[in-house]
Amino acid sequence: MKILIVAATHGNEPLGIMLIQHILKKRKELVEYTDFIIGNPKAFVRNLRYTEVDLNRSYGLRRQGYEIERSRHIRHYIKATRPDLVLDMHTTACEQPDIMIAAAPENSVVKQFLAACHIDIILKIQPLHDITTVIDQVVAYEIANSHLSSAVLDRICDDIQRFVDARRYSETKT
């Protein structure tokens, strides 16, 4: 089982970078199952959502620009590495419950991950030039900035471990 973690699709959203660091420092047992890519390195370095256009709305577009090129790079990376699942990591400044986002919750791999996940709220979306246009097996975390902690990172790592072990967290999802 190989999971690609996409960090910093939006450069000012720290969850993915924090998760990568957490796995490398505290949850090394997950390294053999995970691969990492920084979605938008320029925006991350500048702590901006994006530099020109929203990377999360740039997949499959026939225009030019930095985020458009990054979407092409990520698309090629996914096609070359063929992960079983892509985790797209996001944070929000809004005070809201933590949620999972999926365009294809009926996909067997996505369904298995959602069952292994500690978060029980799932938002089903329609693809809109986002990473779900590249591969069906995408699940996104949307975590409130105020909830970011070592405990949350451990819970996400536990989700990954349950998924790899084909275990469930809960049957109840909204």
Tens of pLDDT, residue by residue, the chain (174 residues): 999 999 999 999 999 999 999 999 999 999 999 999 999 999 999 999 999 999 999 999 999 999 999 999 999 999 999 999 999 999 999 999 999 999 999 999 999 999 999 999 999 999 999 999 999 999 999 999 999 999 999 999 999 999 999 999 976 777
Q: Are 122 and 132 in contact (CB under 8 A)?
A: no
Q: Which residues of 24-34 are buried (b: 16+ CB within 10 A; e: fewer)?
A: eeebeebeebb
- Helix (H) or strand (E) holding 138, with range, is strand 138-144
d(CA 122, CA 105): 9
pTM (2 d.p.): 0.96
pLDDT score of 171:
66
In terms of phi and psi (left: phi > 0; alpha: psi -120 to 50; beta: otherwise), the region of 129 is: left
Helix H segments across the chain? 15-26, 41-46, 66-81, 108-116, 150-164
